[in-house]
Amino acid sequence: ARTRSLFGGDLKMAVMISPELNQNAPVAVDLVVVYDKALVKKLQELSAREWFLERDQLLRDFPKGFDHWGWEWVPGQEVREQTMTFRLGASGAFLFADYLGPGAHRQAVDPHEHFLLELGTDSFSVSPLKRN
């Protein structure tokens, strides 16, 4: 896996959304692919709420340190598979989901492994994307 980080690539994400998502409210989700090792450490400590508050400043502080993609989904929404193309040198990746309830709502993901994001009532889960 270490040599794969030297190359960019495509990351596929399938999404399933609960009809009772986020206490029946939309949720903002960001996927962040990080190229700066110091930034990986910083993001490991942020909750989703902190990420969404600090994102614009982080973009100014680390203009080439990460790429991010953002969505806002509503309860029960059907979402087609998402494909994100990232640059070479990825050091890590994180998902942040801005749920109303308490919790970090942050998950580290491998930018070289496609995954399924399941957005539930109060939290989310990530699992490997299985192909038929």
DSSP string, 41-66: HHHTT--HHHHHHHHHHHHHH-TTTE
CA atoms within 13 A on the CB side of 86: 31
Interatomic CA distance for residues 81 and 50, integer angstroms: 27
Q: With bands split at pLDDT 50, 70 and 90, how would you rate the model's confidence at 33?
A: very high
Q: Is the pLDDT of residue 131 over 90?
A: no
The alpha carbon torsion through 1, 107, 128, 116 (nearest 10 deg) reads: -140
Q: Is the pLDDT of residue 132 over 60?
A: no
Q: Is the pLDDT of residue 5 over 60?
A: no
Candidates 127, 108, 132, 105; CA nearest to 117 is 127
Selected from 3.40.50.720, 3.20.20.70, 2.60.40.10, 2.60.40.4150, the CATH number assigned to the domain covering 3-128 reads 2.60.40.4150
What pLDDT score was predicted for residue 7? 64
What pLDDT score was predicted for residue 29? 99
Q: Is the pLDDT of residue 2 over 60?
A: no
Interatomic CA distance for residues 121 and 18, integer angstroms: 7
